[in-house]
Amino acid sequence: MKALGIHLLIELCSCNRQKLDDMGYLERIMAQAAEVAGATVLKTAFQNFNPQGVSGVVVIAESHLTIHTWPEYGYAAIDIFTCGSRVDPWKAAVYLRQELEAVDMQVRDFQRGIPWEITDAVTSHGALEHASCGGANCQ
């Protein structure tokens, strides 16, 4: 794969349930997590649910962070997708685990980008020969 980013799928378990239902708090710590990772926050969009639970996204210059919470299970599904070498998504993961007082955290990490078999096919036509991670949203 021609890697353009790193994506962490995080299952955060046995968290503080009150915090998982506090939209304002979650919006603050998700934005702060982006800062901790070295990212630049552009936009946020959060929504709370009745009777409980919150969904939220933080658009960053380097991709995004998202969170969905199930306070009734003490569980949050978090995504951290970053591109560029100046951002460290793992710092955001550690910060969020600490803030939400999670007892358990499972992280699956993946590269995002163009699969090699496709990259090879395109490169053979010259289009990607000098390509590098230089997109405007990939600082």
Q: Which of 38, 33, 78, 79 is nearest to 61 (CA)?
A: 38
Q: How far apart, in whole angstroms, are the C-alpha atoms of residue 62 and residue 50?
A: 32
Q: DSSP string spanning 30-98?
A: HHHHHHHHT--EEEEEEEE-SSS-EEEEEEETTEEEEEEEEGGGTEEEEEEEE-STT--HHHHHHHHHH
Smallest separation (angstroms) from a copy of itself to the CB of 124: 13
Under rule CB under 8 A, residue 3 binds a copy of itself: no
Instruction: Using CB under 8 A, pick the residue from 24, 28, 52, 85 that binds a copy of itself.
Output: 52
Nearer to a copy of itself, 64 or 91 (CB): 64
- Considering only residues 57 through 116, tell me which ones interact with a copy of itself, judged by CB under 8 A: 57, 59, 61, 63-64, 66, 68-70, 72-75, 77, 79, 81, 83, 104, 106, 108, 110, 112-115
Task: List active site positions.
Answer: 63, 68, 83
Under rule CB under 8 A, residue 19 binds a copy of itself: no
Q: How far apart, in whole angstroms, are the C-alpha atoms of residue 100 and residue 74?
A: 10
Considering only CA atoms, give the Rg of the chain: 17
Under rule CB under 8 A, residue 123 binds a copy of itself: no
In the chain, DSSP finds a helix count (H) and a strand count (E) of 4, 6
Which positions touch a copy of itself (CB under 8 A)? Answer: 4-5, 7, 9, 11, 13-14, 42-47, 49-57, 59, 61, 63-64, 66, 68-70, 72-75, 77, 79, 81, 83, 104, 106, 108, 110, 112-115, 118, 122, 127-128, 131, 135-138
